A = this chain, B = another copy of it.
């Protein structure tokens, strides 16, 4: 996927030093320096470069539209359909935005943005009003150089070429191009969704890095019943196991100094999820989660429960037997179902893994073609994330939260008009006592 967490800046030198990239002879197969397309360094980029506004809407009941571009006022989102009377302030969002922002550590892009959010509408006297909530994050790391050269070369594994194919207009200027900065709106909206879920049912959504390049965290080293946000946030790679965190950081550092990048995997779990979320056919809960996760930039795969590994098992090994727990609740002894059966949550921990490719922006020479169909070479220089997964952690949490709150509202609309059937159902929300107990 072309839209990565990198800052997507390229360094090169123009074909001649006195003007914008003159590329020399067409279709030249030579390897002369003059054939190499040198793009200006990031610091000196033009305002036109970063116009990649791309808005769109996610969700049916809790609808999030992200908007914005890197060069103008800023980025953000509009949340439509939020429940009224929910206490909410910028602080609720800032925590996750800080986990997402660039420049937070040496293994993320050094680009500096504070990503300070402002709620522009939808809140009065500290509570939501039921009106659309508009959240804005101003841009502070503006750049001021002409970037027209960049538009000439299609960056490998980015969206440059496909945007042109689709829209027939240049994407770099004026929009279209997906940027990691677009995910700010998702993270802000996700924070609202998380707060609703937490307040409603004590639901906790936690993601962490379980693989960076070839460092794979063994599954049994993290207890999904007890892992905490603090453990995850205790190191810059967001792996709750300190030993493997160090290994991962070392692996990222190793490629970072070479100007290369690596991929990784984010694991996400949900505890205290209400039973009964999701629906049985096309809109299965796992299908919604897969779409949500795979809509993040740079994703390559999604699995939940036993995942791809489960395909190697037999049914008798794989099935989750039911039993009654001490509290008289129907539970499963194992959780290869990943908390979802028949498209509907069963109350067990939902777990999933999302694969992220290595960042497409690298400081290495690459062959490519220009927009007008000539071969060229490209060397990006500047700032990019050597590995996207540490910053992807809050993005994954946000998308999962958006799916769950949407499904919770769907469940309310369809199934809560009339009293529940206590013989078969439990209340969706936990009492305060239960929440307290569960969080012990």
Contacts and interface: CB of A to CB of B under 8 A. Distances in A.
Given A1-B343, A84-B414, A284-B295, 15 more contacts: A69-B120, A85-B418, A129-B167, A129-B174, A130-B167, A131-B171, A131-B176, A157-B319, A158-B342, A162-B345, A168-B424, A290-B302, A314-B358, A315-B361, A323-B375
B300 A307 contact: yes
Contacts of A425: 164-166, 168
19 contacts: A2-B342, A53-B120, A57-B65, A129-B169, A161-B322, A162-B343, A162-B345, A166-B344, A166-B411, A167-B415, A178-B281, A265-B308, A300-B310, A305-B357, A308-B355, A311-B357, A316-B364, A318-B358, A319-B362
A72 interface: yes
Nearest to A84: B167
Given A56-B80, A65-B65, A280-B176, A415 B315 contact: no
B310 A358 contact: yes
A355 B131 CA distance: 27
A344 B424 contact: no
A32 B40 CA distance: 71
Interface residues of A, number: 176
B167 A132 contact: no
A170 B124 contact: yes
A34 interface: no
B276 A320 contact: no
Most buried by B among A85, A165, A369: A165
